[in-house]
């Protein structure tokens, strides 16, 4: 039966790819009271209930029945009586069951050999398409695996219903020694499973370096892609497998491949939380720092969105442009703020040169949103303070920043009033923000404070306005509230 593997392979969307493995299970037979019988089924999540054990009061007539009951002597006798050794029961065969049990129970290896010696088809597949070889490989049963391959001439390239080959299963179960053996026995090394994985991808995700290097020596394709477009290198990055990355990068391959989301190895490494992954790629891969995905988001943006401060600063130091705009006009500074990673945004701001800082503050999105405006929306008071206290920026320039409106005419001070951030409003006023500026609907910061019931911020704004200005603002606010109550 197949369940999610402990490898936890990932797809391009960040969701885990289901890599499956062979494990044991039991089927519950219930008739008035539960009877546990050692049964062989493919689906551990399915429990067959209400079925009487058909062998409880009679002698088993088939080899598989005897094996499931654990009556090995009866199984041997039936084999020697020339009972059909290839008979099936609900998809199972005597050979696949014996091979499966051989890893954990005594006597089943002998049954496996006896079945083959008496005509059992070594390549006969069960309901899931698995053969005896797949079971012995998955379980790490080296002796029986060698017997099946060398004496019974089992097909090392047969695949199950999920298109997993014996080599793939050996790697999934981290049976690296058997994987090396199968490679030497001419197992196909570029075979794809139903979900697109190749043996190289599986080895890369679990740091099976000896197998990975041998696969590459045998010309495994490092550019092969799974169903999400990920290569072995990309999957190694997603799993944080440094040694696998180094082994692949030493071959100088697949560094600029992109998956179906338009993401390459550098963008994946930038988003990965462990700095060593990005450092390995930069040290061994020489990636293109100008690369971006289909949304025009470069590596700096990918790091900023995840709050990976070390990666972001490292990329900037390496030459990646943190102010490169994506298709909506957002850059890495915008994204650090939007993603609520204030400490990352502060660190990036301090890393920028004075010229870059001045440039950053006037760069707008499609909706005319500046980093200062977004910092105000997110209530990133520390970042606002760091920006406005920057000694490399003139007071005149700062005054322009704090009064820069968005597409609807709302200034950072208006947004401070909307979210009720009095501390940020104080910093903005000190830098030259005007409390009487109006947006395209004739509303100023005090009106927005009133509309959003931000009493504390409203009281602060009143201390910076004349009586007439306050009165005019109150009229606008009352008009809005009257319209709202009618609606």
DSSP codes joined into one string, 229-280: S--HHHHHHHTT-HHHHHHHHTTT-STT-B-TTS-BHHHHHHHSS-HHHHHH
Q: Is residue 107 part of a domain?
A: no
Following CA atoms 165, 166, 170, 172 in sequence, which dihedral angle do they give, to the nearest 10 degrees? 20
Q: What is the pLDDT of residue 482?
A: 72
Count structural domains, the chain: 1
Please say whether the beta carbons of 372 and 404 come within 8 A.
yes
Q: Is residue 270 part of a domain?
A: no
- Residue of 299, 230, 227 whose CA lies nearest to 259: 230
Q: Is residue 20 part of a domain?
A: no
Q: Is residue 470 part of a domain?
A: yes
Q: Is residue 473 part of a domain?
A: yes
CATH number, domain containing residue 390: 1.25.40.20
Report helix, strand or coil for 17.
Answer: coil
CB atoms within 10 A of CB 350: 11
- Residue of 67, 25, 33 whose CA lies nearest to 50: 33
Cα(327)–Cα(337) distance, integer angstroms: 17
Q: What is the pLDDT of residue 346?
A: 98
Query: What are the per-10-residue average pLDDT scores of the chain (487 residues)?
Result: 32 36 33 34 31 42 86 93 87 92 88 95 95 96 96 97 97 97 97 97 97 96 96 96 95 85 96 96 92 97 98 97 96 97 98 92 90 96 95 88 94 97 96 95 94 94 93 84 67
Kindly report the pTM of this predicted structure: 0.82
Q: Which domain holds residue 424?
A: 355-487
Q: Is residue 301 part of a domain?
A: no
Q: What is the pLDDT of residue 192?
A: 97
Q: Is residue 125 part of a domain?
A: no
Q: Is residue 439 part of a domain?
A: yes
Rg (CA), the chain: 33
Report helix, strand or coil for 322.
Answer: coil
């Amino acid at each position: 039966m197949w369940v999610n593997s402990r490898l936890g392979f990932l797809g391009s969307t960040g969701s885990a790819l289901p890599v499956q493995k062979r494990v044991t299970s039991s089927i519950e037979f219930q008739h008035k009271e539960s009877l546990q019988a050692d049964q062989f089924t493919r689906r551990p999540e399915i429990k067959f209930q209400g079925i009487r054990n058909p062998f409880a009061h009679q002698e088993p007539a088939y080899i598989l029945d005897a094996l499931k009951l654990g009556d090995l002597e009866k199984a041997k006798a039936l084999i020697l009586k020339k009972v059909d050794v290839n008979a099936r029961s609900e998809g199972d065969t005597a050979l696949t069951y014996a091979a499966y049990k051989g890893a954990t129970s005594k006597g089943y290896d002998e049954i496996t050999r006896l079945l083959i010696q008496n005509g059992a088809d070594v390549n006969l597949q069960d309901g899931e398409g698995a053969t005896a070889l797949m079971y012995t490989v998955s379980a790490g049963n080296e002796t029986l695996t060698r017997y099946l391959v060398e004496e019974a001439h089992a097909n090392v390239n047969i695949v199950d219903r999920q298109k997993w080959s014996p080599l793939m299963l050996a790697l999934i179960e981290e049976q690296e020694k058997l994987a090396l053996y199968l490679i030497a026995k001419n197992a196909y090394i570029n075979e794809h499973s139903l979900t697109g994985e190749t043996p190289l991808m599986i080895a890369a995700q679990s740091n099976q370096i000896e197998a990975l290097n041998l696969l590459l020596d045998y010309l495994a394709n490092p550019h092969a892609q799974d169903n999400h477009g990920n290569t072995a290198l990309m999957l190694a990055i997603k799993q944080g497998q440094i040694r696998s990355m180094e082994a692949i990068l030493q071959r100088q391959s697949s560094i600029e491949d992109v998956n179906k989301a338009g993401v390459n190895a550098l963008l994946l490494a930038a988003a990965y939380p462990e700095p060593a992954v990005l450092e390995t790629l930069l040290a061994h891969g020489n990636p293109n720092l100008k690369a971006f995905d289909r949304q025009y988001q470069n590596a700096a943006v990918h790091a900023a969105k995840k709050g990976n401060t070390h990666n972001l600063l490292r990329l900037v130091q390496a030459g990646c442009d943190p102010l490169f705009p994506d298709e909506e006009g957002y850059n890495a500074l915008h994204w650090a703020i939007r993603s609520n990673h204030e400490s990352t945004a502060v660190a990036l701001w301090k890393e920028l040169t004075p010229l870059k800082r001045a440039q950053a503050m006037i760069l707008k999105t499609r909706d005319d949103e500046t980093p200062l405006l977004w910092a105000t929306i997110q209530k990133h008071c520390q970042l606002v303070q760091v920006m406005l206290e920057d000694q490399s920026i003139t007071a005149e320039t700062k005054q322009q920043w704090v009064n820069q409106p968005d597409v609807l005419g709302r200034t950072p001070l208006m947004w401070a009033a909307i979210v009720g951030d009095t501390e940020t409003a104080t910093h903005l006023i000190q830098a030259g923000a005007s409390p009487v500026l109006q947006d395209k609907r004739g509303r100023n910061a005090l009106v927005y404070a009133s509309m959003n019931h931000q009493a504390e911020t409203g009281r602060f704004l009143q201390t910076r306005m004349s009586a007439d200005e306050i009165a005019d603002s109150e009229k606008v606010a009352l008009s809005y509230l009257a319209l709202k109550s009618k609606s």
